[in-house]
Structure 1
Amino acid sequence: MYDVIIIGGGPAGLTAAIYNARARLNVLLLEKTKLGGQIVSTHEIANFPGSIKLTEQETSGPELIQRMAEQAEQFGVEIQLRKEVIDLAIEGTVKKVTCNDGSVYEASAIICANGAFPREIGCPGERELVGKGVSYCATCDGAFFEDLEVYVIGGGNSAVEEAMFITTFARKVTIIQNLSELTADAIAIEQAMANNKIDYIFDSIVESIEGDGMVEAMTIRNTKSGEVTRIEADEDDGLFGIFVFIGNVPSTKLYEGKVPLNDYGYMTTDETMSTPIPGVFAAGDMRPKVLRQVVTASGDGAIAAFSAQKYIEKVKREVSMA
């Protein structure tokens, strides 16, 4: 029996774990794969307070997560990896969590921090060529495109920042944005515009991706003129890369029918990160929010942990008075 079970090992979950453990609560953190979530695919963390470039080596996503995990474990958090939660019983004061290996855990409170996963383009050929030229992680796959051409889909912070990183390897990077301008923050845009290895195609979407074993061609359509353009790999290269950064989809399937979700699948909470189910809280990218960054995920985690702590104290008072 734990005080708090945290589902998800990204910045939101790890921050919640640290705060709850410091409150002397018995905390279990379950993660279905490895710690970090999407942050581990980020080569540089430049906008998280304290992660400024002090040396030639920037703070990377994996480094930040490692420090968070070490801090959590120092305070006594029990972290279990490769534990996918497949079912929940969350009514009442004792919550039950069932994992894919058959193990069942109980707690007074649950903090849901499952995060989100990259949104796909949804065009023909995309899924068939994932890992064969189509990627959602520049840190993971950027080096495979040494001296080749790469197309980055998207125009927000992730797309622009990862495009700049890919120029470390690629001969040329072209950002394809469905709007008339980039939507990243001003500094990121300034840095990208100053990089002579980056070109831009605006008001365009990807219609299809083709290739025999590797990405060899792509068709794009201009959303204003309707003009369709086929982009083919350079004859000498025979292939090119496509990196997709067009937002995320919340990882909330587990909670369907158990915790209220909005029309887009995000778990709704109030400002205390409380869901309508007593003792169930949510934090991070699985919530509807205007900004999805490491700093906002950690903020959510801290608030969720505080709210869970107060809920547990209230339940214990009520039990002692009964």
Structure 2
Amino acid sequence: MSHEDPFLGLDLDGCLINGNICPSAQAIIDQCDSYTEISPSGEGIRIIGTGKIPVGFDNKYDMTGDGFKALEIYDKLRYLTITADVLGEPREIKPIDLNRITLPQSKSADPGKKSKPLGMANHELLLNRIRADKEGMKFTMLYDHGSLVDYGGDQSRADMALVTILAKWTNFDPVLLDQLFRGSALIREKWDKVHHADGSTYGEMTIQRVLENRPIFHKNEIEGFLRFHYDFQFNVVLERVEMRRRGEEQWQIVDDYEFNSIHRHIQNKSGQIGHQALHGILQSDFTPKFDPFMEYFTKLPK
């Protein structure tokens, strides 16, 4: 696996016991819903899909409290041995959004608590810092208890209040904001429902409202702003940066006109960044690599 290819691999180590898959591993397999095979050891499972490990995620998780040894995730700098020993009915290689994968609750966990998104395992330190802050009580009531008492029973107001608090602690990174909110007691199906003609979901629009009401000043805030309003990719065949705006499907080259338009968009939000610095962001690992040939062959029918 390399930076250039689109593949993502999940290793579930020690989840096959006497030929049976432990329930917690099966839950992860079902959520990924992509090509799954038995690993070379015969004691684990490997899931192969497409996608990338999001910012803030670890790639190794101790799962000994959940019935198997470990979960490891890779998207680069790794050799994966293919056994072709398919588990169950063959599945196609599909995109895997790790933000949507939830870890099973351990046997000792409170049965009334919701399963947390995968990335939340890495954010507890940050959450504890917020809980200890001067707004900690307000945050705890919203995040841990989903309380609507201070919002007249209006959950949308509570959602906005929680996102506003989280924004200050995440440098207004919309990806991290979304990850954290999904681990809160306020999360509901509405978060992922489309609420705008451009395809934006309720959750995206809630985050966008907070971001639009906040001037951006720092480099990491600018990167978060770019991630929220645009998609970028570096076409390794044509050796160029390409972009598309939120709600658009067509990719286009970032020529001088588009580059200056992006720069102006940032300035309109009080963002201060020079042309050279913006160029440096877009020409770095901020922009994931994309190989159109690999994409073509991946989508060919079996």
- For Structure 1 versus Structure 2, the TM-score category normalised by the shorter chain is under 0.3
Which structure shows the higher strand fraction? 1
TM-score, scaled to structure 2: 0.26
Which structure shows the higher helix fraction? 2
TM-score, scaled to structure 1: 0.25
Query: Greater relative contact order (Cα 8 A, min sep 6): structure 1 or 2?
Result: 1
